[in-house]
Each structure stands twice: as structure tokens, then as C-alpha cells.
Structure 1
Amino acid sequence: MSKEDMVKEAVEEAKAKAAEAEKNEADQKEPEEKADAAEDETAQTEADSMDEDSAGNDAGENESEADEDSEEESSKTEKKKFFSKKNKKDKKDEKIEELTDRLTRQMAEFDNFRKRTEKEKSQMYEIGAKDIIEKILPVVDNFERGLASMSEEERTTPFAEGMEKIYKQFMTTLEGIGVKPIEAVGQEFNPDFHNAVMHVEDEEFGENIIAEEFQKGYMYRDSVVRHSMVKVAN
């Protein structure tokens, strides 16, 4: 179910609850309105009796005053009903706004939870991938040592050619998942990527330049899996 459907369903439910509350309130107020009407009728009867007992000249005046009182009472009753309906409408709208706001907050909390969970899953996946890659790298080192120790004649044998193809396929697969070697020889020493195990004075290299690499370093995406072991000049 989409967010819009959930909000629509919550609003419809709030409207139904507000209508039911309005009906109950009307049922409760009906006896009170009947009692007020009875009191108004009694008061009107008393006023009519007083009008009949009054003198001839005062009869018209009293009748006019009674009419004014009746109109004023009627106006008050209408105003009372009007404001009562207005208050009921405001109460219903307030309930709808409350439920809508609550649903909006819940959806926002759920969205934050989903994003946080996805981020944690991504971090866990990256940690697991780095651990596997770190265990595979010694196999890559052995491939490179074995191929480097072969003579030119041995490299032409079918066995050596097959091993070299396997090595290239292996490296292509690692590169496809985001593993790449760290550049070292000829680069400026950077402790974030390189591990200096030896220093040498050599005029052919500039200050703090890597002269030799003893072991390749690798990165997985944007993080270092293994630092390069290097010899730094000067």
C-alpha cells in the first residue's frame, strides 16, 4: 500500500469517527433543547397572561415588548445552534488534522528507519567483502611470484601459458567487483596508502618518492584493503 493510500484511509477513518461523535453529541443535547423549549413556552405563557391583565393602553406596548423578547430569544437560539455546529465542525477537522499529522510522523520515522537499515546493510556487506578479498590477496601474490620466477623458455610452455591466463582472468574478476592495485613506484609516499619499510639515498628519485615496491597494496572501492609495502628514497 502506497503512502497516499494509507493517508487517504486514515482520513476516511477520522471522518467516520468524527461523524459518529457528532451524532452522539446531538443525541445527548436533544433532551436539553426540549427542556429549553418547554421553559421558553412557560415564559411565553406567563408573558401572555401578564399582557391580558394589563390596562388597555399598556396592552399594545407589552405585546410589542413580548414580540421583541421572542425575536431576541429566537436570535440567541439560532446563534447558539450556529456556533454549536461550527464548533462541531472544527472539532472534526481538528481530529482529522491530528490523525494526519500522526500518520505523517510515523511514515517519516519508517522512512528514516528504512534508510538507516539500508546503510547498515551496505556497511556490513562492505566489511564482509573486504575480509574475503584480504584472504584472497595472498593467492594473487603467489601467482605473481610464480610467473615472475619463470624463465623465458618456461613461459612458452602450455602450462605456463595456462597459468598466466588463469591469473589474468582472476585479476579481471577482482577488478570487476571494485578491487584495484594501489600505484606505488614513482609516486609520492602517502601513509594513507603506503607502508614504508625501508629508506634509501638515491639521487635519481626526488624527495619522499617511492623507489621500490615489495608487496602490492589493494583497494576495495574507496577503502584500503592492504597497504603497499615500499622503499622510500631520500
Structure 2
Amino acid sequence: MNQENTDNIEKEINENEVSTEQTLENSIPPAEELTNEERLEEELAKEKDKFLRLFAEFENFKRRTAKERMDLFKTANQEVLQAMLPVMDDFDRAMIQISKTEDETLLKGVELIHEKLKSTLVSKGLEQVEIKAGDVFNADFAEAITQIPAPSDDLKGKIVDVIEKGYKLGDKIIRFPKVIIGQ
């Protein structure tokens, strides 16, 4: 009886498998297969679109961070260079006084050091703001310390004297020149 039960069960299982396969084949009409394929294609298109958008967003992120990093590198030296500007001013004043001495060796040595300091600062991106007496005063590029009566009519509203040089780092002015303007 054991063997008979086993054979019957196997026979029923085989009949059920065949009937299940036939039922599945008969239950899916060809039109639904196409809609399944179309649906899969639509899902694939959506996933491709998501991927492309994510990829574009990542590329924009990379560009933005690269630009921010470049801006940071450009202005990273700003604090150090601003701290060096008073030293440069003192050095310029010292050069004026040393040039009045008659010791040529001292003058040459100090000039070499002065030029080396200037070239080092320029190599780091520091530039002097070019402004001189007689130029028209522009508040965007200079800071007026005071106004004095103009020595001549042609100096009214113009720069009479430059008290302190101005400097810029790249396109950004890090210290405005301090000037006296004629009234």
C-alpha cells in the first residue's frame, strides 16, 4: 500500500503540473505579453532617465566643488598677504630713507631683498592697485581719508596724494588705497 500511495501521489502531481502549465499558457493572451513588454520598456526608460539625471546632477556637483576649490585656493593666501602688507609698506619707507644714504653696498643689498619680497608676493597673486595723484577719485577703487582745498582748479574732485598703496588679489581688492582728494 505504501508503494501504491506513492505512485498515486506522483501521478496526481504530474497531472497537476501539466494542468498548471496549460492553465498558465492559456491564461496569458498575446496582447498582455506586449503590454508587459511595453511596461518593461517604459520602466527601463524611466530608470535610464533617473540614471541620466543622477549622472548630470553628479557632474554639476563635481564642477561646482571644483570651482569652489579653485576660488578657495585663489583666496587662501589672502590673510597671509594682508598681514604682509604693513611689512611691505615699512620696507617701501625704509627704501626711501636708505636711498638717501651714500652707502651703495647697503642700498644694493636692501634693494635686492626688497625686489625679492615683491616678486614673491606677486607670484602669490598680489598686485598693486595703480592709482596716482591727478587721477579722478572713484570710491570703488580708493578710500578717501580726507579732503583738502585743491592746490589748483584742475585737481578739484581728483586725487591730490596717495597716503597708502592699495593691493588686490586676483580681481578682488584686499586693501583699498588711502588717498587725499581736492575740494
TM-score normalised over the length of structure 1: 0.62
Counterpart residue type for residue 32 of structure 1: T
Aligned pair count reads 162
Counterpart residue type for residue 164 of structure 2: Q
Contact 1:184 1:230 in 2 (8 A): no
Question: Aligned pair 1:180/2:127, yes or no?
Answer: yes
Residues 1-234 of structure 1 mapped to structure 2, 5 A cutoff: 30-33=21-24, 80-81=29-30, 83-154=31-102, 156-185=103-132, 186-201=134-149, 202-203=151-152, 205-234=154-183
Contact 2:74 2:170 in 1 (8 A): no
Local SS of the residue matching 1:149: helix
| Cα deviation code 1:195-215 (max 9, x no counterpart) | 111212221643311111111
Q: 1:98 to 1:34 in 2, by over 3 A?
A: closer
CA RMSD of aligned residues (A): 2.3
Larger radius of gyration: 1
TM-score normalised over the length of structure 2: 0.77
In structure 2, how many angstroms separate the alpha carbons of the residues matched to 1:175 and 1:206? 32
- Which structure shows the higher helix fraction? 1
Q: 1:196 to 1:32 in 2, by over 3 A?
A: same
Following TM superposition, by how much is the alpha carbon of 1:98 offset from its aligned partner in structure 2, in angstroms? Answer: 1.6
Contact 2:99 2:107 in 1 (8 A): no
Following TM superposition, by how much is the alpha carbon of 1:115 offset from its aligned partner in structure 2, in angstroms? Answer: 2.2
Larger RCO (alpha carbons 8 Å, 6+ apart): 2
Q: Which blocks of at least 5 consecutive residues in structure 2 are unaligned?
A: 1-19
In structure 2, how many angstroms separate the alpha carbons of the residues matched to 1:35 and 1:191? 87
Amino-acid identity (%): 25
